[in-house]
Amino acid sequence: MITQIKRWIEKKTPDTEKAAALTQALNVNAYIAAMLVQRGIQTFDEAKSFFRPSLSELHDPFLMRDMDKAVARIMQAIAANERILIYGDYDVDGTTSVAVFYGFLQKYYTNIEYYIPDRYKEGYGVSKAGIEHARDTKAALIISLDCGIRSVEMVALAASYGIDFIICDHHNPGEVLPKAAAILDPKQPACPYPYKELSGCGVGFKLLQALCARAGYSSDLLFEQMDLLAVSICSDIVPITGENRIFTYYGIRKLNESPRPGIQAIIDVAGLKKNIDVNTIVFTIGPRINAAGRIDHAFAAVELLLATNKTEAANFAENINDHNLVRKEFDETITGEAIEMIRSSMYADTACSTVLYKEDWHKGVIGIVASRCIEQYHRPTIILTQSNGKVAGSARSVPDYDLYEAIDKCSDLLIQFGGHKYAAGLTMEEKNIEAFRMKFEEVVSSTIRKEQLIPMISIDLELPLNQIDTKFLNIVKQMGPFGPQNMQPIFVSRNVFDDGTGRILKDKHLKLNIRQQDSVTYPAIGWQMHAFYDRIKNKEPFDICYSLEENEFNGKKTIQLLVRDIQFISDRKN
């Protein structure tokens, strides 16, 4: 059964003169050149930089506001043998941040410790318990990673204990900034740093890069940490452009060529057989790292990532994999309950938003559940549950809708909130749930466009099937790593048909062999698309949108179309 009709949005046709010039300069297929121009690549040098990212193109870390102050304070702490506490969030970005920062700095300085808050007892961000731990262990400096930009009260509490703060964050700041020794966040006002989309781990990495320059530490040892930096970028769904593209390119290379024991242990326990790419990180490696903090405590994730012994790493990975299996069970059960609550609601078909609450839902998976609900009911979604006497929630958005701004307009009903355009966390009193639900729906319904409530497929180009060959696919693959703002190309081919050998796999998947006029036949797979089969079997011509992939079976590699959607010619509106 097809749950949702999708709208196909074709990108603007690129400038034909620029595309033609690039075709000649690069000696590539005209369709490849057109895609590059669409992505802002217009010259040979820009194409070289895109296809061959270089570490030499990384920005000077001292361009970031307060970087001088941050480096000076760390060097002061080291010179005085002050205790430094590395404080990170409990998600993948936070735990990789801590593993990178602690793992590198401990090679040069031993009076350091790391701290991850308990998701359930302390919640997101810098906690009172964390500050008190720093006080009790006589820390003089806290370096927060992937959090802290809104921790005005906690930074003030630390100051009252004589503890300085360096904040490394990438989230949107509030109107009032914490009074820290240094704040590193490219999104803070008046920060001249040219790239604004670093992950939390990326901001911490830039601080270490600056420290290497001033203290004489090895940049080569630092760049060995780019495997975890790539994991943070992919898992946190930040744009894979600019510096993030460079980090991800080299990080994924290291993940494939010489993975650290902790990552190798995850690869082994997950049974991964293919090369690691962005999707592997997002759907296999990242969730296992995340599972530690979702089900138990994220300390386990940092221990795994820092492990140097293969046996020790394997034991950590087994434990985390068990947590991931539990997480999956919670995910499936709670998602089922949430979908049923939406279906049974009188507003199921008319609401522009979803706000659901159940006191015993597991806090560790409500963000995942919100995303699952959007897959079936395409609208901004907030899932709420009980947490430490309050109601905590995770929010997720649909493309191009600013969820953070909508929540901000309801902030009078909240204790706190934080996040960005597409994902946020929030806390409120239980008595405010219904008022918040009504106000959030009012805000969303008055600001969201109707088309944003329909799932969208962004199509790069209309492509004749006869243009697809091994060379074409190889160049497309080199356009990766793919992610936000550099997504995997999606093509549309029109008036195609199955050659008569199409079939249904496992009662739900569509397996076709597609032709278009004089083209060769291309194998195609459409997951969960069996509902199209009867019309295709009856020889109805259709349009297909798809991405390209290389399928390997019995040692033989073939080009396969990964079907994203199908529209029948007879259904076109005149």
Q: What is the DSSP string of 304-368?
A: HHH--SHHHHHHHHHHHHHHHHHHHHHHHHHHHHHHHHHHHSTTTTT-S-EEEE-TTS-GGGHHH
Domain membership flag for residue 201: yes
Q: Tell me, what CATH number does 201's domain have? A: 3.90.1640.30
Q: Percent of the chain beyond pLDDT 70?
A: 99
Distance separating alpha carbons of residues 326 and 365, to the nearest angstrom? 10
**DSSP helix/strand/coil, 82:** coil
Beta carbons of 201 and 86 less than 8 angstroms apart: no
How far is the C-alpha of 565 from the C-alpha of 546, rounded, in Å?
Answer: 7
Residues 353, 442 within the same domain: yes
pLDDT band at 4 (very low <50, low <70, confident <90, very high): low
Q: Cα–Cα distances in Å, from 378 out to 3, 282, 336, 374, 566? A: 10, 21, 16, 5, 19
Rounded CA separation 466/454 (Å): 32
For 517-528, the pLDDT digits (tens) are 877 899 999 999
- pLDDT score of 133: 98
Structural domain contains residue 153: yes
**Tokens coding 442:** 């009012």
Given this model, what pLDDT does residue 125 score? Answer: 85
Q: Is there a domain that residue 324 lies in?
A: no
Single out the residue in 237, 258, 277 at which a domain terminates: 237
Judge if 193 and 204 occupy the same domain: yes
Q: Mean pLDDT throughout 351-362?
A: 95
Residue 1: pLDDT over 70: no
Long-range contacts of 404-411 (CB under 8 A, 24+ apart): 404/172, 405/447, 406/380, 406/440, 406/443, 406/444, 406/447, 407/440, 409/439, 409/443, 410/436, 410/439, 410/440, 410/443
Predicted local distance difference test score (pLDDT) of residue 212: 98
Task: Measure the CA–CA gap between 341 and 204, rounded to whole angstroms.
Answer: 41
Q: Which of 23-37, 100-114, 181-195, 547-561 has the lowest mean pLDDT?
A: 547-561
In a domain, 304, yes or no: no
Average pLDDT estimate for 310-337: 92
Residues above pLDDT 90, as percent of the chain: 84
Question: Are 129 and 229 within one domain?
Answer: yes
Whether residues 214 and 72 fall in one domain: yes
Residue 259 lies in a domain: no
- Residue 539 reports pLDDT greater than 90: no
Cβ atoms of residues 326 and 361 within 8 Å: no
* DSSP state, residue 2: -
User: Which of 421, 453, 485 is where one domain is finished?
Assistant: 453
Helices 226-235, 242-257: axis angle to 10 degrees equals 120
Residue 124 has pLDDT above 80, yes or no: no
Asked if residue 505 and residue 395 are part of one domain, the reply reads no
In what side-by-side order are the strands of the sheet with 139-145? 112-115, 83-88, 139-145, 164-168, 182-184
* Structure confidence at residue 178 as a pLDDT band (50, 70, 90): very high
Question: Per-residue pLDDT for 2 more than 50?
Answer: no
Residue 276 DSSP code:
P
Indicate whether 89 and 128 sit together in one domain.
yes
User: How confident is the model at residue 518, as a pLDDT?
Assistant: 76
Instruction: Please give the Cα distance from 171 to 86 (Å, whole number).
Output: 18
Residue 426 and residue 471 in one domain? no
Angle in degrees, CA 321, 324, 325, rounded to 5: 95
With contact defined as beta carbons under 8 Å apart, do 148 and 169 qualify?
A: yes
In the numeric block, which tokens belong to residue 384?
Answer: 């709420």
Whether the Cβ atoms of residue 212 and residue 257 lie closer than 8 Å to each other = no
| Model pLDDT, residue 403 | 95
Q: Which of 453, 473, 493 is the last residue before a domain boundary? A: 453
Mean pLDDT of 308-334: 92
Instruction: Look at 55 and 419; give whichever has higher pLDDT.
Output: 55
Length of the chain equals 574
Residue 357 included in any domain: yes
Residue 108 CA from chain centroid, whole number: 32
Report if residue 318 sits inside a domain. no
C-alpha triplet 488, 551, 277: angle, nearest 5°: 45
Same structural domain, 400 and 477: no
Evaluate whether 27 touches 175 at the Cβ level (below 8 Å): no
Tokens 């405590």 belong to residue: 297
The contacts of residue 142 (CB under 8 Å, 6+ apart) are 84, 85, 87, 126, 130, 131, 134, 158, 163, 164, 165, 166
Distances (CA, A) of 298 to 129, 155, 273, 281, 293: 15, 22, 27, 18, 4
Beta partners for 390? 387
> What domain count does the chain have?
3
- Does pTM surpass 0.85? yes
Q: Determine the pLDDT at residue 3.
A: 44
117 and 228 assigned to the same domain = yes
d(CA 304, CA 323): 13
Query: Are both 414 and 468 inside the same structural domain?
Result: no
Cα–Cα dist 242/9, whole Å: 25
Q: Is the peptide bond before 481 cis (omega within 30 degrees of 0)?
A: yes
Q: Which residues constitute the domain of residue 192?
A: 61-237
The CATH number linked to 379 is 3.10.310.30
Amino acid at 25: A
Query: Is 434 inside any structural domain?
Result: yes
Helices and strands (H and E) in the chain: how many:
21, 19
- State the Cα torsion 472-478-483-489 to the nearest 10°: -10
Query: Do 223 and 161 have their domain in common?
Result: yes
Mean pLDDT of 36-57: 95
In the chain, the amino acid numbered 381 is T
- CA dist 522 and 520 (Å) reads 6
Q: What is the pLDDT of residues 206-262, one digit of tens each?
A: 999 999 999 999 999 999 999 999 999 999 989 999 999 999 999 999 999 999 999
Section 135-150 average pLDDT:
97
Residue 573 has pLDDT above 50, yes or no: yes
Q: What is the CATH number of the domain that holds 523?
A: 2.40.50.460
Q: State residue 293's pLDDT score.
A: 79
Report residue 48 as tokens.
Answer: 């070289």
Tokens of 117: 């808050």
Based on the fold, state whether residues 430 and 498 are members of the same structural domain: no
3-state SS class at 211: helix
Decide if pLDDT at 346 tops 80.
no
